[in-house]
Amino acid sequence: MSGIRTRPGRLSLAIGVALGVVVATTAVAATPPVLSKGPNGENPTSASKVVLTKSEVAKVKRMRATAAIVMHYGGDDWSRAQINGLKFQFKKLGIRVIATTDAGFKPEKQVSDIETVLAKKPSIIVSIPTDPVATAVAYRKAASAGVKLVFMDNVPKGFKKQNLYVSVVSADNAGNGVAAARLMGKALGGKGEIGIVYHQADFFVTKQRWVNFKSTIKKSYPNIKIVEEQGIGGPDFAGDAEKVASAMLTRNPNLDGIWAVWDVPAEGVISAARTAGRDDLVITTIDLGLNVAIQIAKKELVYGLGAQRPFDQGVAEAKLAAYGLLGKKAPAYVALPALPVTNGNVLQAWQTVYHVKPPKSLVDAKK
């Protein structure tokens, strides 16, 4: 019965699952197809199709271009990996990074960051809008100044014409929502009560995760009931998630699992579960942060997750920025496939996601 979480009184269910009596769950594919559409409904293009010839790379190097990386938030493993991927590829292209900013999930700070960066006259800005409405004017100002804009995950409000930006690059957030739902279904044996902690903001990709997690649970697992959903707005996402998860567990003492929209809120859910003495709670999420990876490695509260590929996203974004400099036609939306992660592949997944060996703390947790 390896991989099946049990609670007191659920042993017969676990045995049923092991014998195939309970409704079968859908297997999680190792390399699933991309399910997401772009922010304007675009079909996805594979990152493997974003290529530069040797002569194009040489031409970009001669331009002596500069780039600024304007993040919505910089305090998690996903953001650091994006930045690492960008800097890695920019260096190969001879593009100098002149600024890296962190808005702390505050739209007004990001607007200020864009204005500060523009004073340095960068050739390129790679960014993820904290709020697509509040930041739109600042990004339009950058586009009007001739800056080549490449976006992560989403575009500002009104950016429906690609002449304002080069491209947008994203993980398959719909696919990751599906993967997290299937992992939840597998861990619960297709039956139970769960809660959802979603991102209460106008944020395209986190909505994709939430919507696709819910729809997969409802369609594929009719015996799993979503009994409560609570949104969090941040910027203290771990703290906010801990509060709402604690309240969920109090109101729903029979709760079997909680899905959190990404790894930082999942850390808050972990804290709430521990405080409530709920070591049997099943948690699934999205993003392979170190803390949740250690949970998976130890077979503790986090059963599994859908991982993005942020380093590879950064590499693709830098290449697309070069497309902009060259005047080369770029795909409107580039997406990388979801990566389901469980105890069985967590070390390999770390290397796939971050392009470095797993840290010692993760390796030790897997022993």
Confidence (pLDDT) at 44: 94
Structure tokens at 24: 């079968």
- Selection from 131, 155, 164, 175 nearest residue 31 by Cα: 175
Q: In terms of DSSP bridges, do strands 257-260 and 192-199 run parallel, antiparallel, or are they unpaired?
A: parallel
pLDDT value of position 140: 97
pLDDT at 31: 55
Gyration radius of the chain over CA positions: 21
E strands, 30-156, are 45-46, 66-71, 96-102, 124-127, 148-152
**pLDDT tens, residue order, the chain (367 aa):** 233 344 333 333 332 322 222 222 333 334 568 999 999 999 999 999 999 999 999 999 999 999 999 999 887 888 999 999 999 999 999 999 999 999 998 999 999 999 999 999 999 999 999 999 999 999 999 999 999 999 999 899 999 878 899 999 999 999 999 999 999 999 999 999 999 999 998 888 899 999 999 999 999 999 999 999 999 998 899 999 999 999 999 999 999 999 999 999 999 999 999 999 999 999 999 999 999 999 999 999 999 999 999 999 999 999 999 999 999 999 999 999 999 999 999 999 999 999 999 999 999 999 8
Cβ–Cβ under 8 Å, residues 56 and 114:
no
pTM for the whole structure: 0.84
SS3 per residue for 202-224: CCHHHHHHHHHHHHHHHHHCCCE
C-alpha 217/C-alpha 122 separation (Å) is 45
Predicted pLDDT of residue 75:
76
Q: Give the domains, in start order, of the chain with CATH numbers.
A: 11-15+22-32+173-309+340-366 (3.40.50.2300), 45-170+310-336 (3.40.50.2300)
HSE value, Cβ hemisphere, 13 Å, CA-based, for 106: 9
Q: How far apart are CA 124 and CA 288, in angstroms?
A: 28
Give the N- to C-terminal CA distance of the chain in Å, as an integer. Answer: 20
Q: What is the DSSP string of 6-24?
A: --TT-HHHHHHHHTT-SPP
Strand runs (DSSP E) across the chain, as ranges?
Answer: 45-46, 66-71, 96-102, 124-127, 148-152, 167-171, 192-199, 224-232, 257-260, 282-286, 302-307, 333-336, 339-341
What is the torsion angle, in degrees rounded to the nearest 10, for the CA atoms of residue 87, residue 89, residue 92 and residue 93? -100
| Residue 26 confidence (pLDDT) | 32
Q: Which of 237, 241, 185, 181 is nearest to 209 (CA)?
A: 181
Strand order across the 66-71 sheet: 45-46, 333-336, 167-171, 148-152, 124-127, 66-71, 96-102
